[in-house]
Structure 1
Amino acid sequence: MTNPHDIIIKPLVSEQSMESMADKKYTFVVYKRANKTEIKKAIEKIFGVKVEKVNTMNMTGKYKRMGKNIGKRPDWKKAIVQLKPDSKEIEFFEGM
């Protein structure tokens, strides 16, 4: 994965992730096979910030029913990125 936009899929906007933004923690949905160093480099390159640490979680997809049929949503990976105290904010989340 050389393109950082392939690693960072989208920001995760929820009530809990918006509360953690006060501590300079941002939540993203990332490529399932990306590791912490790849995620760190991608965030620093895309947004121009300094990353202190990255926590990742593998999330399992939920099972959903449509009548008698059962389907499963895909598994995905979540990354919580904490910025350094002297780093600037990510402007992407400012308008929300």
Structure 2
Amino acid sequence: MSIFGKTKKAEVKKDATATPPAVEKDSTPAISSDSSHVLLNPRITEKSTWHSAQGVYVFDVAVNSNKQQISRAIRAIYKVTPRKIRIVTVPSKSKRSARTGKLGVKGGGKKAYVYLKKGETINLS
């Protein structure tokens, strides 16, 4: 009927060799398999088709993405390495509705100019 017990239990000693060795991590970050949320779609306009002849491709990208994420997404999806990436913020604009006459907002966003090395191409069709 002793709650705390009269005798002391023997302590179990742990071996230091029983723990598994530490695993080293790679210094390069893993490419996310879900890169589709970074690149929304290619931007097909007259200006972008002219740029594609010079090796520059234009994409609509997520607003919270940065150059490193865009570069990883291009490498993962299109299997080419970008030489340079430029990001432009597209401002939102006020537009009047033709049907109701009320003022609405045309959403802005972000677009990225992806520069490739000479000889590398991306098939956007």
TM-score (norm 2): 0.68
Aligned position for 1:89: 121
1:2 shift after superposition: 6.3
Q: Quote the sequence identity (%).
A: 28
Which of the two has higher C-alpha Rg? 2
Give unpaired runs (5+ residues) of structure 2. Answer: 1-31
Consecutive aligned runs of 4 or more in structure 1 exceeding 4 Å deviation? none
**CA deviations over 1:44-85 (Å, ceiling 9, x no partner):** 110001100100011012211124411101120010000122
Which structure is richer in relative contact order (CA contacts within 8 A, separation 6 or more)?
A: 1
Three-state SS of the structure 1 residue aligned to 2:51 is helix
Q: Larger strand proportion, structure 1 or 2?
A: 1
Cα distance in 2 for residues equivalent to 1:60 and 1:91: 28
Give aligned pairs, total.
92
TM-score (norm 1): 0.87
CA RMSD of superposed structures (Å) = 1.6
